[in-house]
């Protein structure tokens, strides 16, 4: 089946599905879910498309969205596609300098904002911008102040509903081509200014085609949750895929509400980054630790049965013997089903997971209890997925089989190189960065190291993250960090050691777990800061590090560490918008503490 151009897609799907629900949303966690039908979705897309014509939007103009996840995000996207215009999504947590850079770089004239916080940021940018002229707010409660260049989305929609510009929109739809630029996604790089990844419709069209081939179990009967930010290529491409398939998609407004949303929706599909599953795993492990020895023994037995059933047999297309089926059914009733029901994932079809390294331990655990994690690898520049687990035959330790018609080879320094129709053509108005991103034969250089095993891809490390100790030993910090965050007492880690004679770390512990430990040991303290300096707490973390680093080379082991009372965050600049550690920022912020760890 050939997918329609996105400018034509919504009206065609509305003809097919009519009053069937396409999107669900709620304004507060206590509210009931509201539904939007395909007919209503299509009507809104056309109305917003006409409103754009009314305010003078021209073809190929760039328009930004700066909000939390909302159904309106997708309506605006497809209204722009109907006008041959380009969407530039911004992360809802972006700061004034970040928004200002993107507005200037992409010459943004119109920006849609979510709430008051985002409006205030955009307004500050508008005051000094030669490009930004109009702010449109989704939230009716936003206060505009003295700004005459702002309006509410509801009024903008009304403008389109009254408009007679249907012919102009239809003409632009008919003239749309695959080479039109659908989106510019700015990467939240760990260093320097972000780069605008140009994504023509051809990239998305190809992504839709190959995902249909790769994921045949995904159908219009599925239910998905848009949990990750729609400004992230993973969630954006997945949400477009849901629309192409005809899937009902629940839009989760606030990331902190996701646990309740999952329990409410009980989805069959949901994209997530490994950090989500790390927290699920930590919660399960904590519950196990609090069980009686008899119950712990039962869990150990159940996990062994699950591994044998799902990994040793089903994964390899072998039929489990009757005795194992009976054991698995018992284990499922006693253990697996209770875990999955508690989280809200008992209806799972597949749960795509990517964006960072997922530990083999968590992957094996989830697969053993019957949670169909589809672990994969991709980048913004590759329109998300390059490889992912198949339903069977996947190997724990890999990032899955390479998708159809995506070309992968290994270059110098074991760098993963890519070619294919999902690979972006270049960075917006950045010739130097574009030339640096491709080799002489046109292969995109991912910056990730790995190797190909059969048709499966193994990612080993991020080349730019690799550092060398003063003893000449190469360290892959992500490998160490991924191990350590499995521990119930460790929330986040930034490994340090470039050109140093040993490895150290800045560690943000799980404060509630540390407090519980202090209570059990009758340790008294007056503040969290003072608690983290007590030798007994340092010794606890030291022992946990030793346990998690068992089997690693001596030169990879953390010799000293500093505990910090507050976690790394996007707001403080220590994390990118996709939750990757900005090591340079952390090294600068904790410069004194780092020097102390290396003092003789």
pLDDT digits (tens, 9 = 90+) for 396-421: 999 999 999 999 999 998 999 999 99
pLDDT digits (tens, 9 = 90+) for 182-196: 999 998 655 568 899
Distances from the Cα of 401 to the Cαs of 310, 373, 387, 388, 481, in angstroms? 18, 14, 5, 5, 25
Distances from the Cα of 240 to the Cαs of 22, 71, 230, 459, 588, in angstroms? 12, 12, 10, 27, 39
Please name the helix (run of DSSP H) or strand (run of DSSP E) that holds residue 184, with its range, or none: strand 181-186
CA distance 414 to 378: 17
Residue 465, pLDDT > 60, answer yes
Strand 558-563 to 503-509 pairing: parallel
Task: Report the range out of 492-501, 537-546, 549-558 with the highest average pLDDT.
Answer: 537-546
> Do 314 and 320 touch, CB atoms closer than 8 A?
yes
CA distance 293 to 283: 18
Backbone angles phi, psi at 136, to 5 degrees: -120, 120
User: Where exactly does CATH 3.30.300.30 map onto the chain?
Assistant: 466-598
DSSP 190-233: SSSS--EEEEEHHHHHHHHHHHHHH-TT--TT-EEEE-S-TTSH
Give me the CATH topology for the region 6-176: Rossmann fold (3.40.50)
CA angle, 274 then 275 then 279, to 5°: 115
> Do 583 and 494 touch, CB atoms closer than 8 A?
yes
What is 466-598's CATH number? 3.30.300.30
CA distance 47 to 11: 12
Closest by CA to 518, choosing from 497, 532, 529, 498, is: 532
Closest by CA to 328, choosing from 373, 281, 372, 368, is: 368
% of the chain residues with pLDDT over 90: 82
Q: Which of 113-122, 380-389, 550-559 has the lowest mean pLDDT?
A: 550-559
pLDDT digits (tens, 9 = 90+) for 307-349: 999 999 999 999 999 999 999 999 999 999 999 999 999 999 9
Q: Which pLDDT belongs to residue 467?
A: 81
Task: Please compute the mean of the pLDDT values over residues 419-430 and round it to a whole number.
Answer: 97
> Do 173 and 203 touch, CB atoms closer than 8 A?
no
Please name the helix (run of DSSP H) or strand (run of DSSP E) that holds residue 504, with its range, or none: strand 503-509
At residue 600 the predicted structure's pLDDT band, cuts being 50, 70 and 90, is low
CA distance 551 to 534: 29
Strand 384-388 to 373-379 pairing: antiparallel
User: Where exactly does CATH 3.40.50.980 map onto the chain?
Assistant: 6-176
pLDDT digits (tens, 9 = 90+) for 360-378: 999 999 999 999 999 999 9
pLDDT digits (tens, 9 = 90+) for 254-268: 988 999 999 999 999
Residues 6+ apart with CB under 8 A from 408: 386, 387, 402, 416, 417, 418, 452, 457
Q: Please count the other Cβ atoms lying within 10 Å of the Cβ belonging to residue 294.
A: 7
Taking phi first (over 0 means left), then psi (-120 to 50 degrees means alpha), and beta for anything else, what does residue 538 get?
Answer: alpha
DSSP 33-77: PEEEEHHHHHHHHHHHHHHHHHTT--TT-EEEEESSS-HHHHHHH
What's the whole-model pTM score?
A: 0.89
What does DSSP assign to residue 357? P
Backbone angles phi, psi at 446, to 5 degrees: -75, -25
Residues 6+ apart with CB under 8 A from 327: 305, 309
């Amino acid at each position: 089946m050939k997918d329609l151009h996105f400018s034509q897609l919504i009206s065609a799907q509305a003809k097919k599905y009519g009053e069937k629900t396409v999107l669900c949303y709620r304004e507060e966690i206590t509210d009931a879910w509201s539904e939007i039908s395909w007919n209503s979705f299509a009507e809104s897309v056309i109305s917003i498309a006409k409103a754009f014509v009314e305010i003078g939007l021209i073809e190929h103009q760039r328009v930004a969205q700066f909000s939390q996840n909302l159904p309106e995000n997708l309506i605006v996207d497809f209204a722009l596609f109907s006008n041959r215009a380009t969407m530039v999504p911004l992360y809802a947590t972006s700061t004034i300098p970040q928004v200002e850079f993107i507005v200037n770089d992409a010459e943004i004239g119109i920006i849609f904002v979510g709430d008051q916080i985002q409006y205030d940021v955009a307004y500050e940018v508008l005051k000094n911008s030669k490009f930004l002229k109009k702010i449109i707010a989704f939230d009716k409660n936003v206060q505009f102040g003295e700004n005459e260049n702002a309006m509410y989305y509801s009024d903008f929609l009304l403008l389109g509903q009254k408009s007679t510009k249907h012919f102009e929109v239809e003409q632009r739809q008919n003239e749309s081509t695959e080479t039109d630029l659908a989106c510019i996604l700015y990467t939240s790089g760990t260093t320097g200014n972000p780069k605008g990844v140009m994504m023509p419709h051809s990239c998305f069209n190809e992504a839709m085609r190959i995902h249909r081939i790769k994921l045949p179990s995904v159908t219009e009967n599925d239910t998905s949750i848009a949990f990750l930010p729609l400004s992230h290529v993973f969630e954006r491409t997945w949400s477009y895929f849901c629309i192409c398939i005809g899937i009902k998609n629940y839009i989760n407004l606030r990331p902190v509400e996701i646990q309740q949303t999952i329990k409410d929706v009980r989805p069959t599909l949901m994209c997530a980054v490994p950090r989500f599953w790390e927290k699920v795993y930590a919660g399960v492990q904590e519950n196990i630790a609090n069980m009686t020895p008899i119950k712990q023994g039962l869990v150990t037995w159940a996990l062994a049965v699950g591994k044998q059933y799902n990994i040793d047999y089903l994964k390899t297309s072998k039929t489990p013997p009757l005795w194992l089926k009976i054991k698995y059914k018992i284990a499922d009733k006693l253990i697996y089903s209770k875990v999955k029901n508690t989280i809200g994932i008992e209806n799972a079809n597949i749960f795509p997971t990517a964006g960072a390294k997922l530990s083999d331990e968590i992957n094996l655990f989830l697969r053993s209890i019957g949670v169909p994690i589809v672990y994969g690898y991709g980048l913004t520049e590759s329109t998300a997925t390059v490889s992912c687990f198949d339903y069977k035959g996947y190997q724990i330790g890999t990032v899955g089989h390479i998708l159809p018609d995506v070309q992968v080879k290994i270059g110098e320094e074991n760098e993963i190189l890519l070619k294919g129709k999902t690979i972006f053509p270049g960075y917006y108005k950045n010739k130097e960065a574009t030339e640096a991103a491709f080799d002489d034969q046109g292969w995109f250089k991912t910056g990730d190291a790995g190797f190909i095993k059969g048709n499966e891809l193994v990612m080993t490390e991020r080349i730019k993250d690799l550092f060398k100790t003063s003893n000449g030993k190469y360290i892959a910090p992500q490998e160490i960090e991924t191990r350590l965050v499995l521990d119930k007492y460790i929330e986040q880690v930034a490994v340090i050691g470039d050109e140093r004679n040993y490895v150290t770390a800045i560690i943000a512990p799980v404060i509630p777990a540390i407090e519980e430990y202090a209570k059990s040991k009758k340790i008294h303290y007056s503040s969290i800061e003072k608690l983290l300096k007590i030798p007994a707490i340092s010794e606890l973390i030291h022992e946990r590090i030793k346990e998690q680093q068992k089997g690693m080379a001596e030169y990879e082991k953390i010799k000293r560490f500093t505990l910090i009372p507050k976690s790394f965050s996007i707001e403080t600049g220590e994390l990118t918008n996709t939750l990757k550690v900005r090591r340079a920022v952390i090294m600068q912020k904790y410069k004194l503490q780092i020097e102390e760890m290396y003092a003789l």
